[in-house]
A and B are shown apart, each in its own frame.
Chain A
Amino acid sequence: MMRKLVSAAIGTALAVFAGISFHHSRHLREPVVPGPAVSRVATLGDYFAPLKGTINDANIYILEGKEPGGTVLLLGGTHPEEPAGRLAAWIFAENAELRQGRILLVLSANRSGTTATRIGGAYPADFTIPTAWGGQTFRMGDRWSNPLDQWPDPEVYLHYPSRQQLAYVDIRNLNRCFPGRPDGLLTERTCYAICELIRREKVDIEIDFHEAELQYPVISTIVAHERGADLAAAASMFISSLEGFAIGVENSPKALRGLSHREIGDATGAISLLLEAPEPFLDATRGRTDRRLLLTGRDPFVVRAGRRGLLFEKIDEKGWPIDVRVGRHTSTVLQVLEIWSGDHPDRAVVVAGVPRYAEVVEKGTGAFLKDPKSVDPGRLSFE
């Protein structure tokens, strides 16, 4: 009997320890200091009522310029285990000044996915970006919605409306559920809400921020819907000659369903682009999966895989630091907007105050995160 009590006590201790960690990971609040251009903060539920009040009722920061123009939607956190995308969107939310047009920003497109890490993946629960005022901590998430919000998965996932058969777990992958299903599961409904937002706000360009493992062939590139092919090609040329890094262009495949670059372009009037930056943290051959690897992108095992010719992107001892990955996203968006605005003066989106690649790499991402203690608490938003 005594022995059973000791065993039960050990189990309880382990469960409490794990439970506290998981609770912290799910409920960590991430402050946003809305920048000068943010005119209001809506949520996805305003565009699709059934999402109201759910975990995926994500904030939409609406940035408005003095002059009317076009509208751009930037999606961060489609895959929350790819943090450079959320951080790039954060920089826009806190720093952008808008001269013309509108930017709609979603920092946690799959908010549920930001609240859990990969089962068996040994991911850190959170990570901290150093800042002059001490640092800002973010939730580390996963590629899929949290099973606490959508469970169980079906044996077979048939994508709606194409009926293409996809991996069962991808029914919780936001970037496999577009254009969404109004009476579907949470992830499908979230995609539907994003498409409704795009249709109702007459978005001209939608840009989805991602990161990829170096063993994945679609990396360091802009994936473009056919209506965005010219825009992406021009951006790639200008970036490669002006911004200090190279980025390619890939056409969105017609046969691969559920992805934002394909479905948003097909289902709405927006041009859809998807940006991929290199994230060694995601590589299968990585070593210790900790906060250091997440932020430095330095891993000797991935470097060794590179020497054996197993990777689709270069890597050396310098790795792929988070600032490099975030800067690639900000510069790519700025180039896309500059080219688009030059070609469409009446639908222009003219933005200032957002750092480009060289500046993010030089000063660090943290230099562009605002101290939540520096503003009136009533102005803060939380992700």
Chain B
Amino acid sequence: MTTPPILELRGVSKNFGNTLALHNINLEIANGEFLTLLGPSGCGKTTILRILSGFEAPTRGAVFLNGQEITSSPPELRQVNTVFQSYALFPHMSVWDNVAFGLRMQKRPKVEINQRVAEILRRVHLAEYGDRMPRQLSGGQQQRVAIARAIINNPLVLLLDEPFSALDLKLRKQMQFEIKHLQRQIGITFVFVTHDQEEAFAMSDRVVVMNEGTVIQVGSPQEIYEEPESLFVARFVGEINVLEGDIRAARPGGTYQAEVEGVPFILHSRREFAEGETVKVLLRPEDLKVYLEQEKAQQPPFFLGTINETVYKGATVDILRTLDNGKKLQAAEFFNEDDADITYRPGDRVSVTWVEGWEVVLNAEGE
């Protein structure tokens, strides 16, 4: 990175008694970035946020904020603020007092407090709600108060721990949009936590995929989705078909001659594989191409199989098929105007192939 990172974790581990919650986390977060920690429940996302905000101390390792080590400085002295999972609004204070709290703790002059609270409430569309108590607000409004309260001190980094988990789907989408918009406007670095891959992809510049206290992969949403480095990531961020293959011969330029489910294919990968090595070939449902057997004379290579079932999904149809060797595959086709009716019936014979180069090849361990 050219500019120094705003936030850095170096070799951070955390034990709770015998539980190893985090194991050797190394992470650099760029200024102004929207970074998301994505992983299943219990993988250590909240623990990372609590180490960044100062509520937990790492067992090993160090944390740097803006070049300064803050590993052991208390939460109230860090220029980092948090939007808590349960909002944690002060129930005995009005919306206004909740939002003003941070500035009052900084002992800012009253004029400045009034002006900034009014401005931030306007920014989160709550200008008329200053006198309300938190319990008089809807979930989405409480959420916005929590965000307003956390950004009023102009933190260097804003931490958000699954902020939308209590909201229904429609409101969730709206808040995702609002937060992303807000982040672009104010330019503060956001570290966002979710276990929802769609949410992570929709909002983030970079996604950190975690599992069992370790970082599995870091990359842009597109990299994570299209070039997963492990079977875990591939499965966690969407549907995936896993085919078994054997490398027959390596060719120059990252191309391999291979046999996939018994059919010879050309595989593309930047990874090194030895001749005779067993590999896993990963394909997203939307990367598969399905043709009725009688429809076109297909150029080999392709698999032959039978349609099991089609599932109408609105924008797409999921097609479940069984290959002739018993392997089950899932494909997704988008409707388009040229090909308005995708009419596969259970029992139809089909050939299946994929767009060459869109496959992900991993070793036998799925790594």
Do A and B make up one complex? no
